[in-house]
């Protein structure tokens, strides 16, 4: 994507002129989604930004879930505020982890930047609230890299993929509603059959964990180059199969654990495993839908929380927690902030217009601005008029 340049380059500025933003007020509220313990920034990230000349405002106890105290943030140079309202009111840019809940959307304002996961295609209420707020919302999950990958989604996909096998193994235990099968079996008893639908980052990490536990693993994908790559990575330890409806019908019926790991960037996930497939599965089989943030890739999926993670449809256990990495918040927060910090620094230093103008990959993260939807897949899925990032920056 070719983007227009906003403002003057620093090197073209006369002596003493300051065209780059030199100071920004950045807010880090405490996450309030059910049993969400991650935080948008670590104290080390705060220190980096404070050293760059920015002001950091962190809600009291925001880092408690990862073992970071208010004192740790103060030592890094942040100011700790008692209430979320104070953070939202003070900050030019809000840095979070999960999508803002509706009461948080109500605290956003025109001219403010929100940088977090959004997953709007599966959340029309949040999309409407962000559009009404007038804020500039940049989504981690649609920021791209030169190779077409999603660098801010990758770390959480890695965590979710690995965690899906832990969750699935636990749910397979008889006391938890499962078939009573050990993933790796034992000598003389076959291992569990694990079907991974989608061979991207989450699917590959799920397969890696399942293979490590001794399960019999099959990965489905519709990209032959990706299937070849996975075959080389796993060296024959997994089956790689081209995904068709017939194959899904066949393999889902015999699987003990199905992992849904399908991603269409920014868009709602396609429903690849049907309700009929679920009816044809063995009683006590388990399904884990990593794609639930984008609406889920099983027809029988519905969002759950860590407080009540599973439910049963046709005797099949479903695990559809929308913030899976929140179960391991310390690992997840450090992995995420390692990836987001360079982008936060760029947005803070340059302001969002210049940062997006200079970096078309960051510009791909623009989802909502000034009452318009700026991601094509979100606009299509939810029925909004689409206004591209190029148009936004040209108008700016």
Render pLDDT for 80-102 as a digit per residue (tens, 0 to 9): 999 999 999 999 999 999 999 99
For residue range 248-283, what is the model confidence (pLDDT) as tens digits? 999 999 999 999 999 888 788 999 999 999 999 999
Cβ count within 10 A of residue 193:
20
What is the model's pLDDT at position 194? 98
End-to-end CA distance of the chain: 17
Cβ(172)–Cβ(183) under 8 Å? yes
Residue 230 and residue 141 share a domain: no
Domain boundaries, position 174: 154-322
Domains identified in the chain, total number: 2
Encoding tokens for residue 170? Answer: 């636990």
Q: Would 5 be classed as within a structural domain? A: no
Residues 175 and 224 in one domain: yes
H-type helices in 77-221, by residue range? Answer: 84-90, 102-105, 124-133, 154-171, 201-212
How many angstroms separate the CA atoms of 12 and 220, rounded? 52
Is 369 catalytic? The answer is: no
User: What would the pLDDT profile of 3-27 be if each residue is shown by its tens digit?
Assistant: 544 443 333 333 333 345 569 999 9
**Cα separation, 204 vs 211, whole angstroms:** 10
Q: Going by C-beta distance under 8 Å and a sequence separation of 6 or more, which residues neighbour residue 179?
A: 172, 256, 282, 283, 284, 285, 286
Residue 216: inside a domain: yes
Handedness of CA 137, 147, 2, 266 (dihedral sign): negative
The confidence score (pLDDT) of residue 82 equals 97
Q: Is 372 a catalytic residue?
A: no
Catalytic residue among 86, 123, 221, 293: 293
The segments of the chain whose pLDDT lies below 50 read 1-2, 4-19
pLDDT of residue 396: 75
In this structure, the answer to whether residues 262 and 196 fall within a common structural domain is yes
Supply the pTM of this predicted model.
Answer: 0.87
Point out which residues pair with 26 in neighbouring strands.
Answer: 56, 93
Which of 269, 293, 322 is the endpoint of a domain? 322
Mark which of 260, 292, 322 sits at the end of a domain: 322
Does 75 fall in a domain?
yes
CA–CA dist 288, 276 (Å, integer) = 17
Take residue 160 and report the two structure tokens written for it.
Answer: 């979710």
Confidence at residue 242, expressed as pLDDT on a 0 to 100 scale: 98
Q: Are 305 and 321 in contact (CB under 8 A)?
A: yes
289/168 same-domain check: yes
Residues 131 and 90 in one domain: yes
Identified catalytic residue from 119, 318, 361, 369: 119
Give the C-alpha distances (Å, rounded to integers) separating 166 from 157, 170, 196, 224: 14, 6, 14, 28
CA-closest candidate to residue 99, choices 38, 174, 14, 166:
38
The span from the CA of 65 to the CA of 329, in Å, is: 7
Segment 302-321, tens digit of pLDDT: 999 999 999 999 999 999 99
Do 17 and 146 lie in one domain? The reply is: yes
What's the CATH number where 255 sits? 3.40.50.720
- CA-derived radius of gyration, the chain: 22
Cα torsion 99, 101, 107, 110 to 10°: value is 40
User: Rounded to 10 degrees, what is the CA torsion of 352, 354, 357, 360?
Assistant: -50
236 & 206 share domain: yes
């Amino acid at each position: 994507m070719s983007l227009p340049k906003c403002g003057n380059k620093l090197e073209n500025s006369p002596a003493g002129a300051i065209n780059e933003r030199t100071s920004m007020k950045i807010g880090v509220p405490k996450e309030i989604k059910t049993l969400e313990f991650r935080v948008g920034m670590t104290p080390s990230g705060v220190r980096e930004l404070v050293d760059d000349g920015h002001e950091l405002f962190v809600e009291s106890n925001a880092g408690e879930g990862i073992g970071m105290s208010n004192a740790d943030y103060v030592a890094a140079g942040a100011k700790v505020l008692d209430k979320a309202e104070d953070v939202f009111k003070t900050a030019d840019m809000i840095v979070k982890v999960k999508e803002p809940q509706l009461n948080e959307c109500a605290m956003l304002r025109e001219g403010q930047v929100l940088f977090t996961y959004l997953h709007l295609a599966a959340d029309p209420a949040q999309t409407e609230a962000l559009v009404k707020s007038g804020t500039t919302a940049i989504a981690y999950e649609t920021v791209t890299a030169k190779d077409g990958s999603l660098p801010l989604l990758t770390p959480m996909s890695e965590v979710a993929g690995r965690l899906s096998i832990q969750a699935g193994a636990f749910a397979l235990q008889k006391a938890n509603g499962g078939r009573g099968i050990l993933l790796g079996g034992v000598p003389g008893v076959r291992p569990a059959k694990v079907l991974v639908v989608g061979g991207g980052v989450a699917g590959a990490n799920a397969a890696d964990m399942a293979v490590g536990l001794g399960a019999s693993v099959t990965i489905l994908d519709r990209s032959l180059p990706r299937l070849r790559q996975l075959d080389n990575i796993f060296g024959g330890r997994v089956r790689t199969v081209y995904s068709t409806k017939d194959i899904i019908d066949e393999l889902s019926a015999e699987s003990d654990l199905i992992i849904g790991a399908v991603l269409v960037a920014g868009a709602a996930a396609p429903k690849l495993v049907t309700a009929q497939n679920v009816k044809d599965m063995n009683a006590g089989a388990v399904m884990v839908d990593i794609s639930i943030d984008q609406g889920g890739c099983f027809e029988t999926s519905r969002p759950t929380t860590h407080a009540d993670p599973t439910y049963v449809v046709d005797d099949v256990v479903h695990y559809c927690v929308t913030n899976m990495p929140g179960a391991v918040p310390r690992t997840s927060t450090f992995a995420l902030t390692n990836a987001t910090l360079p982008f936060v620094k760029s947005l803070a230093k340059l302001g969002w217009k210049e940062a997006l103008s200079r970096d078309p990959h960051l510009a791909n993260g623009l989802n909502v601005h000034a009452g318009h939807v700026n991601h094509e897949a979100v606009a299509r899925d939810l029925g909004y008029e689409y206004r591209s990032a190029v148009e936004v920056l040209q108008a700016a």
